[in-house]
Amino acid sequence: MNNNSTHSVKEYIIDTFGCKQDLANPEIAKESVNILKIAAESAGAKVIEIHCTTYTIHGFTTVALLAESHIILTTWPELNYASINIYLCNPDMDHNVVLDNIFKYLRPTNWRSSWFRHLSLSRTNKRVFLATPFTKHLKVDGFDKSAFNKITSLISLLRDLGYSVFSAHEREAFGKKLMTPETCTILDFKEMNQCDIVIAIISDNSYGVSLELGWASALKKPIILYKNEGQPFSTPLIEGIGEITDTINVYDIQSLLTSINELECKNQLIIAE
């Protein structure tokens, strides 16, 4: 198991409903062993052992023991329901890859997911998603210089303090290497799903930041809203986002840095030696 103390460890719980797979079929239960093997290896995990237990009436539980922890699949055929538990200690492994393979097997018509933070470890390489206006700053002669300086200064400061920062602006070279909407949306959501804290620079007309805040609140990510003193919220929903997830409003860099530490302390689990 990965003992790197520079990352948070999360466990994902997924409920699947209306599964079209015949979960009462013993042969389907046997097939789950190979499905979990493929799912784990597709994410780069090392499989140690996989075991399937079938129950007297019907239904089964399949457990994949991994070098990076485990994957568990439990079924209730009478309800066309299955529960999936994905616990990968290596933060570079994507649980969505595992989930995609299991979904192809179960074929659910609906699902819901949640995650639990078991550890909030050293903030070295803590993952920050920086949500900032993009399109509004793109000019004919390049990216707005004032906005460029503000964003790059913030990124540099956070990295100097040991944080891992994702910025779509950097990825797309501040407008010089623009991606298609289909590509960047998928990549941005993946980064949002894997981050620990979201810092959003609030603007009165950035639809992209508003969308990213929607993702962040739905995924229960701690949020820091960074705006100018006296600046109104762009929408009532952004003003009320603190009712959905931990949210702090800041107006300067020092307050922002203090807030990051506050959110880390609030969300961390202290481990007794």
Q: Are residues 20 and 99 in the same domain?
A: yes
Residue 2 lies in a domain: no
Q: How many distinct structural domains can be found in the chain?
A: 2
Q: Are residues 154 and 47 in the same domain?
A: no
Residues 6+ apart with CB under 8 A from 30: 52
Per the structure, the complete domain to which residue 45 belongs is given by: 9-119
Single-letter residue type at 105 = Y
Q: Are residues 47 and 169 in the same domain?
A: no
In this structure, are strands 247-250 and 81-88 parallel, antiparallel, or unpaired? unpaired
Q: Are residues 32 and 141 in the same domain?
A: no
Q: Are residues 166 and 58 in the same domain?
A: no
Ranges under pLDDT 70 in the chain: 1-9, 116-125, 204, 229-234, 264-273
Question: Could you tell me the CATH number of the domain that includes residue 242?
Answer: 3.40.50.450
Q: Are residues 130 and 101 in the same domain?
A: no
Of the candidates 117, 154, 148, 170, the residue with the CA atom closest to the CA atom of residue 260: 154
**Which domain-ending residue is among 95, 119, 143?**
119
Q: Are residues 167 and 257 in the same domain?
A: yes
Residue 98 lies in a domain: yes
Q: Are residues 18 and 87 in the same domain?
A: yes
For residue 262, how many C-alpha atoms fall within 13 Å in the half-sphere facing its CB? 13
Can you give the pLDDT at residue 269?
37
Residue 272 lies in a domain: no
Residue 97 lies in a domain: yes
Q: Are residues 146 and 26 in the same domain?
A: no
Separation CA 145–CA 193 (nearest Å) = 30
In this structure, are strands 69-76 and 247-250 parallel, antiparallel, or unpaired? unpaired
Residue 3 lies in a domain: no
Residue 148 lies in a domain: yes
Give the tens place of pLDDT for each residue, 179-198.
Answer: 999 999 999 998 998 888 99
**Which domain-ending residue is among 62, 94, 119?**
119
**Which domain-ending residue is among 119, 150, 176?**
119
Residue 273 lies in a domain: no
DSSP notation for 53-73: EE-SSS-EEEEEEETTEEEEE
Of the candidates 131, 136, 135, 137, the residue with the CA atom closest to the CA atom of residue 166: 131
The pTM for the full model equals 0.56
3-state secondary structure of 269: coil
**Is 214 within 8 Å of 235 (Cβ atoms)?**
no
Separation CA 223–CA 214 (nearest Å) = 11
Question: Could you tell me the CATH number of the domain that includes residue 43?
Answer: 3.60.90.10
Q: Are residues 114 and 246 in the same domain?
A: no
Q: Are residues 254 and 166 in the same domain?
A: yes
**Is 260 within 8 Å of 236 (Cβ atoms)?**
no
Q: Are residues 155 and 233 in the same domain?
A: yes
